[in-house]
Amino acid sequence: MSSNFQVDLTSIGLKINYLYEVLATTYALKNNKIVPNTAAMGIRLLENNTIKIWSFPNTTTYKNLDSTKLIILNFVDNIFLYAIASLKGNFMFSSIETVTEQHYNLYPFNVKNEHKAIFKGIKRGNSIHLPYLNQAWAIISCVATNKNQTVKTDILGKVELVELSLSVIFCEKFKESFKLYNRAENLTLETIVLATKLYVAKEKKDKTLFNKIKDKIEENVNEVLRFGKNESALKAIEYVKNYVSSLMT
Ligand SMILES: Cc1cc2nc3c(=O)[nH]c(=O)nc-3n(C[C@H](O)[C@H](O)[C@H](O)COP(=O)(O)O)c2cc1C
């Protein structure tokens, strides 16, 4: 494990100014117990081991991060996990798989003096156990140091986001991953993003936008099915299809 604020993130292949899609685990404290939550988020690595993340203020990720300041960025190969971590809301059908306790491991971390304030409330003695995804091939633990309101324009129109600066506490690589997402996986990732936007369009009761996003999702779904053969992508696409159906009721 490399720790402290001099962590070398290039050791896990991160490049400065590139955007990466990760699964971000944050947590709430309920009765002194850590309750983890995970969702897909985009991150960008800047100089000095600062990482930027842009979060919608209504997400649990943002609310947890604003309250406890800690975040674990999980690097995961399995696209299906992105679907189950990100597609939330009124998703009610019986065989639904979500991210549950069984998806997490606890990472033991010895708290140094300079980090004591960060881990106040969850520290037992000198150590803490941070939840992370057991499928992660690498994790980066960070603390939020700064936030700014910002506005971005996308398919939903003008959306307000909070830009958070994260300082790296430690980074751990569990195994090598030379995974480059293939076309089916990339398109699946885009389709999961669109499905999260479909949920927002439904909440906004914007039927035109809803149908526009739904049509785009259907187009992508057919493309991924045409590429075929990628098990994780196909499973994720099936999940997206069920999610879209659940939003149409
Ligand atoms: C690949 C991918 C990237 C995403 N990036 C972001 C992001 O940068 N910021 C954000 O607020 N939501 C992002 N989302 C959408 C969230 O994952 C989604 O809204 C999720 O339901 C939030 O969950 P939470 O309320 O548990 O935090 C992304 C989704 C996907 C699939």
Any domain includes 178: no
Cβ contacts of 148 within 8 Å, gap of 6 or more: 162, 163
User: pLDDT digit of tens for each residue in the chain (249 aa)?
Assistant: 544 456 788 888 899 999 999 999 999 988 878 899 999 999 999 988 899 999 999 999 999 999 999 999 999 999 999 999 999 866 655 456 778 889 999 998 888 777 777 777 776 677 888 999 999 999 999 999 999 999 999 888 899 999 999 999 999 999 988 666 788 999 999 999 999 999 999 999 999 999 999 999 999 999 999 987 889 999 999 999 999 998 987
Cα–Cα distance measured from residue 216 to residue 63, given in angstroms and rounded to the nearest whole number: 30
- 150 CA to centre of ligand 1 in angstroms: 16
Q: In this structure, are residues 188 and 221 in contact, taking their beta carbons and an 8 Å threshold?
A: no
Q: What is the pLDDT of residue 2?
A: 46
Where are the strands (E) in 46-204, listed by range?
50-55, 70-75, 104-110, 127-133, 138-154, 157-173
Structure tokens at 148: 């700014």
82 CA closest ligand 1 atom index: 31
Total structural domains within the chain: 2
Whether ligand 1 lies within 6 angstroms of the CB of 239 is answered as: no
Domain boundary among 173, 204, 221: 173
Q: Are residues 155 and 61 in the same domain?
A: yes
Looking at the domain assignment, is residue 112 inside a domain? yes
Could you tell me if 119 and 214 lie in one domain?
no
C-alpha torsion sign, points 79, 90, 98, 243: negative
The three-state secondary structure class of 76 is: coil
**What's the confidence (pLDDT) of residue 178?**
65
Whether residue 64 sits in one domain with residue 6: yes
Does residue 130 belong to any structural domain of this protein? yes
**CA distances for 69 relative to 48, 75, 117, 133, 146, angstroms:** 19, 20, 11, 18, 10
The per-residue pLDDT for 5 is 52
6 plus 111 within the same structural domain: yes
Are 138 and 45 part of one and the same domain?
yes
> What's the pLDDT at 103?
93
Indicate whether 193 and 142 sit together in one domain.
no
Select from 173, 207, 237 the last residue of a domain: 173
Give residues with Cβ within 8 angstroms of 47, minimum separation 6.
Answer: 16
Q: How far is the CA of 124 from the centre of ligand 1 (A)?
A: 31
Any ligand 1 atom below 6 A from CB of 186: no
pLDDT value of position 180: 66
Q: Answer yes or no: is the C-beta of 82 below 6 A from any ligand 1 atom.
A: yes
Q: Which atom of ligand 1 is nearest to the CA of 192?
A: 31
Structure token pair of residue 15: 């490049």
The helix-helix angle for 207-227 and 231-247 (nearest 10°) equals 160
Q: What's the domain range around 131?
A: 2-173
User: At 81, which helix (H) or strand (E)?
Assistant: helix 79-86
Give the DSSP H or E segment for 26: strand 19-30
> Do residue 98 and residue 163 come from a single domain?
yes
Beta-carbon contacts of 109 under 8 Å, excluding residues fewer than 6 positions away, are 127, 128, 129, 130, 141, 170
Among residues 173, 206, 237, which one ends one of the domains?
173
**Is residue 227, in this structure, part of any structural domain at all?**
yes
Q: DSSP assignment, residue 57?
A: T
Q: Is the CB of 61 under 6 A from ligand 1?
A: yes
Q: What CATH code is carried by the domain that includes residue 56?
A: 2.30.110.10
CB of 22 sitting under 6 A from ligand 1: no
Same domain, residue pair 118 and 32: yes
168 and 193 together in one domain: no
CA 117 to ligand 1 center in whole angstroms: 28
One domain for residues 19 and 110: yes
Q: Are 142 and 51 in contact (CB under 8 A)?
A: yes
Note whether 55 and 37 are within 8 A (CB): no
194 close to ligand 1 (CB < 6 Angstrom) = no
Can you give the pLDDT at residue 3? 44
Q: Are 145 and 192 contained in the same domain?
A: no
User: What is the distance in A from the centroid of ligand 1 to the CA of 46?
Assistant: 20
Q: Which sign, positive or negative, has the C-alpha torsion 213, 218, 219, 225? A: positive
Q: Is the domain of 148 the same as that of 191?
A: no
Alpha-carbon gap, residue 40 to 25, rounded angstroms: 9
Domain membership of residue 36 (yes or no) is yes
